Amino acid sequence: MRYIDFRSDTVTQPTDAMRQAMANAEVGDDVFGDDPSINRLEESSAERYGFEACLFVPSGTQANLLAIMAHCQRGDEYICGQDAHNYRFEGGGAAVLGSVQPQPLANNPDGSIDLDLIKANIKPDDSHFARTRLLSLENTIGGKVLPMDYLAKAQAFAFNQRLKLHLDGARVMNAAVKLGVNPADIMQHFDSVSVCLSKGLSAPVGSILLGDEATIGRARRLRKMVGGGMRQAGCLAAAGQLALDTMVERLAEDHDNAAYLAKRLNEVDGVECDESLVQTNMVFAKFANDYDVLALGQRLKDKGVVIYKGNPLRLVTHKDVSRADVDTFIEALKQSI
Ligand SMILES: *Cc1c(COP(=O)(O)O)cnc(C)c1O
């Protein structure tokens, strides 16, 4: 049975072209620097996005960990949003493995963090405190796109405060497509950027980390330390190459389907969805506080639809959810609610 899966864009299957490219990829031992498919992905990505260097890694979680550890030493801290993936959803890796403490701060409704608030939380140079070294932003965050003028202000701020600036750009391509800008226009403001190839871009595995030679050199050593040095991983890089070469523009379709989904959700009694908040491929549906979303999830599953149960319920559109699937879901929801 085929399920219509709204849990995440991570569920996307590799395309036929990706499977072909994976089967035919020229490979070598990447730990020796010998894998032509990985070298091509890293070199072409660095050039395309305006960085000196790039590193192919197994996951977005590892890309963020390596960036934080490459920018910070033991006893340093990074500032990030309270809602940041690299604070909430990465097992506390920076603290556990890097001895780098997070300083989370409230995200504004648009996903930004007030620069004045950040300034007030940079620790003085005093042995009581961790050393504040890094600011980490996320774009998109909860499906929202950070404003371009905020990125420029954050860059100037970080420079003046002598902080490094990292972007968790797991879905930065969604942000670029939404704004109609070149991804490099967003990335130019950052010292390092992580990008997931395995979300809406549909590669089976992998992320890239972009930065200058020195930062990526440290990240490469650290990748080995945390067990992420891969051998003939050109099979994966070949799919990742197609993700960046061919799968970015089509994200607009996911955004259109998300807007359509939000509109149709409001036809359903007992569901509220603020359509004005839908910017990219994420939709949040609110049920009454005491509504049993768990039971709803089971009834929907019986009808062939999978959701990631929560209230608000996060629904993510992607390549493997069509407009007709959205219609099917709405009908299933009307019957199940
Ligand atoms: C998914 C995600 C990650 C982690 O990527 P994985 O490949 O799942 O480890 C990091 N940051 C954000 C914002 C994400 O959405």
Q: pLDDT, tens digit, for every residue of 26-81?
A: 999 999 999 999 999 999 999 999 999 999 999 999 999 999 999 999 999 999 99
Q: Which atom of ligand 1 is nearest to the CA of 207?
A: 7
pTM for this entry:
0.97
Give the distance (Å) from ligand 1 centre to CA of residue 170: 6
Q: What's the CATH code of the domain at 297?
A: 3.90.1150.10
Q: How far is the CA of 10 from the centre of ligand 1 (A)?
A: 9
Domain of residue 59 covers 14-246
**1 — pLDDT class (breaks 50, 70, 90):** confident
Instruction: Assess whether 189 and 257 both reside in one domain.
Output: no
Q: Is the CB of 59 under 6 A from ligand 1?
A: yes
Residue nearest to atom 4 of ligand 1 (CA): 60
pLDDT 10s digits, 118-139: 999 999 999 999 999 999 999 9
Same domain? For 178 and 217 the reply is: yes
Q: How far is the CA of 196 from the centre of ligand 1 (A)?
A: 7
167 lies in the same domain as 271:
no
pLDDT at 300: 97
pLDDT digit string, tens, across residues 152-207:
999 999 999 999 999 999 999 999 999 999 999 999 999 999 999 999 999 999 99
Q: Do residues 198 and 213 both lie within one domain? A: yes
Looking at the fold, whether 185 and 287 belong to one and the same domain comes out as no
Q: Let me know whether 237 and 260 are in one domain.
A: no
Residues 221 and 254 reside in one and the same domain = no
pLDDT of 93 above 90: yes
For 267-276, how does the pLDDT look when each residue is reduced to its tens digit (9 = 90+)?
999 999 999 9
Cα separation values, 301 from 140, 214, 294, 307, Å: 29, 49, 11, 8
Mean pLDDT to the nearest integer, 250-261? 98
pLDDT the model gives residue 270: 96
d(CA 238, CA 222): 23
223 in contact with ligand 1, CB cutoff 6 A = no
CATH number of domain containing 45: 3.40.640.10
Number of domains the chain contains: 2
Question: Do 292 and 203 fall within a single domain?
Answer: no
Q: pLDDT value at position 309? A: 87
Q: Is 166 in the pocket of ligand 1 (CB under 6 A)?
A: no
